[in-house]
């Protein structure tokens, strides 16, 4: 039996415009494009399973981003800070050879 998400996505015209632009942007990071596509498909009424199969993603990944969008709107689609020790060296100072 398919699961039904408790998070219903309804977009304002401004949100829809921004997400559509991001989803079609070739220079945007891949993760941003995928998250925008997830939300756009969710707004069309597709289930997490359907979105996952269209975008070749796990249902849990789709569910996570649908929930984050519903809770925080567009701001929820950006990465959150992660716990852990801060980097000791900046990317410019990292030696490689």
The answer to pTM > 0.85 is no
**In the numeric block, which tokens belong to residue 74?**
């567009």
pLDDT confidence band for 76 (50 / 70 / 90): confident
Tell me the C-alpha distance between 8 and 70, whole Å: 7
pLDDT at 2: 57
- Please compute the mean of the pLDDT values over residues 65-91 and round it to a whole number: 77
**3-52 pLDDT, tens digit each:** 677 777 778 898 889 889 988 888 888 888 999 999 999 999 899 999 99
What residue spans define the domains of the chain? 28-77
Tell me the C-alpha distance between 58 and 55, whole Å: 9
């Amino acid at each position: 039996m398919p699961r039904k998400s408790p998070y219903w996505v309804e977009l304002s015209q401004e949100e829809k415009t921004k997400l559509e632009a991001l989803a079609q942007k070739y220079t945007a990071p891949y993760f941003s494009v995928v998250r925008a596509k997830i939300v756009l498909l969710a707004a069309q009424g597709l289930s997490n399973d359907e979105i996952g199969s269209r975008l070749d993603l796990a249902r849990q990944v789709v569910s996570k981003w649908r929930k984050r969008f519903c809770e925080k709107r567009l701001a929820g689609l950006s990465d959150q800070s992660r716990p852990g020790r801060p980097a000791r060296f900046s990317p410019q100072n990292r030696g490689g050879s």
